[in-house]
Amino acid sequence: MIRIKGKAVSPGIVMGRALLYNFEKEVIRAENIGEKSVEKEIWRLENAVKKSQAQLKKINRDLQKIMGKDAAFIIETQYLLLKDSHLLDEIRGTIQNKLVKAEWAIKEVEKKYLKIFHTIPDLSFKAKSNDISDVLTRLIANLKKSSPATSAPQPGQVILVADDISPSVAATMMSNKRLLGLVLNKGGETSHTVILARTLGIPAILDTVNATDSIFNGDTLALDSVNGEVIVQPTPEVAAEISLKIEKFRLYKEQLKKLSQLPELTLDQHQFHLHANIELPFESEIVQSYGAQGIGLFRTEFLYLDSKMSISEEEQYLIYKKIAQNIFPHPLVIRTYDLGRDKSDPAAPRHEENPSLGMMAVRLFLKDREPFKIQIKAIMRANASGNIRILFPMITEIEEIHAIREIMAEAKKELQGAGTYPGKDVRVGIMLEIPAAVRLIRHLGDIIDFFSVGSNDLIQYLLAVDRNNSDVSYLFSPYHPAFIHILKEIRSEVDRIGKEVTICGEMAGQPVPALMLLGMGFTNFSMNALAIAEIKGVFTRIHYARLRKIVNQLDRFGSRTEIKTFFKKSLLELYPDLLDSHGPL
């Protein structure tokens, strides 16, 4: 028996047979052709494109059968890549200019794109580069008249073990209901494969490093993606323990389903509101099933960064309108492009010595206003249902808000002139992520309708700590006295001007920090949809008034350790079983 540790990214516990996926990309060698053969190579390319599009359409249809309309957005993205005239023109141009076969031309274009994406650290670009490699690998396979690897020959359900896996391979197996779980040596939490697994409730573990060296085809695996562990060839005793865990997790999921339907009220009838964060449009189809009362944060930069999600006004308008209709009458909060730092535009890469203090988000788009204005117009047009709000990230000074208001006024006037303004104004909010913005709140009562606290960035900028830097990440703490103080200041200042405020960072989806926020008087939260039922289960089992009394005492302490210890101890004295029941195991 072997135990392999990894990073749990889609929760669940399953036991089944291993299927090792060892697909190796075929080595493509440069092969020159004569000028007379160019037309033939382009003809071969066009045929391969048609065949690949037909294959992706089938995967798309199969996914929609189990995920619902528009849920196969990820595969649709790959299909659209094959309709991208720019991408295909580059391949054709390489064939013509370098006089090489189509296979080599594809590899040359792929290398160009991957070189751009791999210079950008943001994980979302890993998903994007995977899509390009995936679709171009499919093209090459169809050029060579071999079948792209999309499913395994063995019958029955399996736990797939791989170094990494492309979205289309995963999607095919998921749509065939063959996949019990995923174990990957590599991968990223924002990869399209992982997003698909989370959406379908398929357990997944990443970053095992060498699982493929320790697991063989047919091995019995116990995959525990709650605790981030794979057990290879478990003993009968361990297998019995895992079976009990599987049943316990099943009961836990049933409990969460019931919790998601509970009223949003504490034991003393104090109301709270739980919303979902989303990154891709199809997620709006499912968030309400998790108990979300609307979408508190739609991160639109993933539309901008996706190679084939056009950023035209019309396409954005259709996306925003559909999501707003899906969740009506609940609110849809659309955050404008939060680019810069680790999410840069690959078409216009720039080098900055310290990107976290440089051109980003609103700063970037006040300098280059046209894409910004296009997005604002699309959001305004989409608000026919009246439940859309617009949120501007990384605000530093009031002058930025005045400039935004000017652009919004221009956009509204242009839409009215074109007869496309729906007549319902979009409510306007800003994110509180930079400490300086907190001191502006009292001056914004007449120009801002609501606020959202980006707790992750607020902690980083307040404490001068990069949470992704393992050497200093220990300093990243929601219990730091300075952060507690600034949260209380936000609550007080927002109340003073009579506006709403929502917590959008990771704190909102973690039981103990979320309880601390509730005790400060925050009642609007937005989080990963998977966390909603868990947070609701904790909130509905406490008394708001008692929580307030505990939190009011936190100012007595001068260290994060003291604050965390006191708060948890006080909670457990009042509710001994509260934190034991928030997790499945």
Token pair listed for 60: 């798309």
- Look up residue 189 and give its DSSP letter: T
Asked about 504 being catalytic, the answer comes back as yes
* Alpha helices per DSSP H over 99-175: 102-117, 124-143, 167-175
In angstroms, rounded to a whole number, what is the distance separating the alpha carbons of residues 384 and 372? 20
Rounded to whole angstroms, the Cα distance separating 232 from 144 reads 37
Angle (nearest 5°) at CA 366 between 365 and 370: 60
Helix, strand, coil percentages (3-state) for the chain, rounded to 5, are: 50, 15, 35
Of the candidates 402, 485, 504, 582, the residue annotated as catalytic is 504
235 touches 266 (CB < 8 A): no
CB burial of residue 541 (10 Å; 0-12, 13-18, 19+): middle
What number of other Cβ atoms are within 10 A of residue 465's Cβ? Answer: 17
Handedness of CA 101, 107, 108, 110 (dihedral sign): positive
Q: CA-CA distance, 151 to 172, in Å (whole number)?
A: 7
- Identify the helix (H) or strand (E) that includes residue 179: strand 179-184
The Cα 203–Cα 514 span in angstroms is 25
Strand 13-21, strand 220-224: pairing:
antiparallel
Tell me the one-letter amino acid at 161: V
Q: Which amino acid is at 193?
A: T
Catalytic hit among 86, 192, 443, 543: 192
**Does the active-site annotation cover 192?**
yes
Q: Return d(Cα 397, Cα 388) in angstroms, integer.
A: 24
Q: Indicate which residues carry an active-site annotation.
A: 192, 504
